[in-house]
Amino acid sequence: MKLYYTPNSPYARICRIVAAQAGLMARLELVAVKLRTTDSPVIPLSPMGRIPVLTDGELVLSEARHICAYLEEKGDGTPTVAPYGDWQAVAAEAETLAFLDAVIVWSREVRREADVQSGFLKEVADQQMRRELAHLNGTRTAPDGDPPLTFEALCLVAALGILDFYDLMPDWRETYPIVAEWYARYEAVPTVSETAPSAAAMNPLTR
Ligand SMILES: N[C@@H](CCC(=O)N[C@@H](CS)C(=O)NCC(=O)O)C(=O)O
């Protein structure tokens, strides 16, 4: 199996964490790629040129959630994605994935040249993030023991990683302390800390 990724992609990060936790790293080749280049090795596999992409024989699988479900099946079977039927779990997963998607939209905006950034879009994004963080702060509790590395939790972990990396909301830990406490438990997990976005691994999305 091969996983095409960029080092700072939060979607790929979730897949890398799930693969490692499922004990699959010996069977998984990680292929780092650049985005938005016509010679990207991902384009012949998937015309959109997006990552993460997982290949296994003839199979070319995109979308982090699908990849995690596949890795779960191939690995040690530790539950990762919410099964259809457990609709509360599916709903919770949809919410943290939406949060991650929104954080990514925001992070892309602030990486554009300052004079073309939309103040309106950033304001809307900030309000959206704060609504979700306030909701999470009122409903989460820090896990006892080893935190569960579900897709639902990892979407939130990956989103908060991006929030920190681009310093999008400097006050979030003080303003949403229960979320901060919850996140600290995850930051202590080796596969989470080892995959955190870093400037050294920077692979600019805009060129
Ligand atoms: N919904 C997709 C999102 C994947 C995604 O947005 N990947 C970004 C990198 S973080 C990408 O490949 N973007 C291509 C581009 O910007 O050209 C998933 O869950 O995997």
DSSP letters spanning 106-150: HHHHHTS-GGG--HHHHHHHHHHHHHHHHHHHHH--PPSSSPP--
174 alpha carbon to ligand 1 midpoint, in Å?
30
Within-domain flag for 46:
yes
**In 10 A of CB 43, how many CB atoms?**
14
Q: What is the pLDDT of residues 18-58, one digit of tens each?
A: 999 999 999 999 999 988 888 899 999 999 999 999 999 99
Q: Are residues 49 and 125 in the same domain?
A: no
Do residues 109 and 152 make contact, with C-beta atoms less than 8 angstroms apart? Answer: no
| Whether 24 and 96 share a structural domain | no
Contact between 112 and 150 under an 8 Å Cβ cutoff? The reply is: no
Pocket test for ligand 1, best of 34, 43, 51 (most atoms within 8 A of CB): 51
**Does any domain span residue 93?**
yes
| 71 lies in some domain | yes
Burial of 11 (0-12, 13-18, 19+ CB in 10 A): buried
Per-residue pLDDT tens, the chain, 207 aa: give them.
999 999 999 999 999 999 999 999 999 999 999 888 888 999 999 999 999 999 999 999 999 999 999 999 999 888 899 999 999 999 999 999 999 999 999 999 999 999 999 999 989 999 999 999 999 999 999 999 999 999 999 999 999 999 999 999 999 999 999 999 999 999 999 999 999 999 877 655 443
Please tell me the distance between residue 56's alpha carbon and the centre of ligand 1 in angstroms: 20
State the distance from the centre of ligand 1 to the C-alpha of 12, rounded, in angstroms.
Answer: 9
Cα 199 from chain centroid (whole Å): 17
User: Is there a domain that residue 164 lies in?
Assistant: yes
| Residue recorded with tokens 């959206």 | 128
CATH of the domain at 11: 3.40.30.10
Are the CB atoms for 156 and 93 separated by under 8 Å? no
Same domain, 97 and 19: no
Residue 98 located in a structural domain: yes
Number of compact structural domains in the chain: 2
In a domain, 44, yes or no: yes
Same structural domain, 109 and 183: yes
**Is ligand 1 within 6 A of the CB of residue 172?**
no
pLDDT at 206: 43
Regarding whether 113 and 72 lie in a shared domain, the answer is no
Amino acid at 180: A
> Which ligand 1 atom minimizes the distance to the CA of 8?
10
Let me know whether 23 and 45 are in one domain. Answer: yes
- 206 belongs to a structural domain: no
For a mutational test of ligand 1's pocket, the pick from 11, 36, 53, i.e. the residue with the most ligand atoms closer than 8 A to its C-beta, is: 11
Whole-number pLDDT of residue 9:
95
Give percent of the chain with pLDDT exceeding 70.
Answer: 97
Does residue 207 lie in a domain region? Answer: no
Residues 119 and 186 in one domain: yes
Domain enclosing residue 22, as ranges: 2-80+194-201
| Shared-domain flag, residues 72 and 125 | no
Q: What is the pTM of this model?
A: 0.95
pLDDT of amino acid 78: 86
Q: Is the CB of 107 under 6 A from ligand 1?
A: no
Q: Best of 50, 67, 111 to mutate for ligand 1, by most ligand atoms within 8 A of CB?
A: 50
Nearest of 82, 52, 73, 77 to residue 151 by alpha carbon: 82
Q: Looking at the structure, do residues 111 and 147 belong to the same domain, yes or no?
A: yes
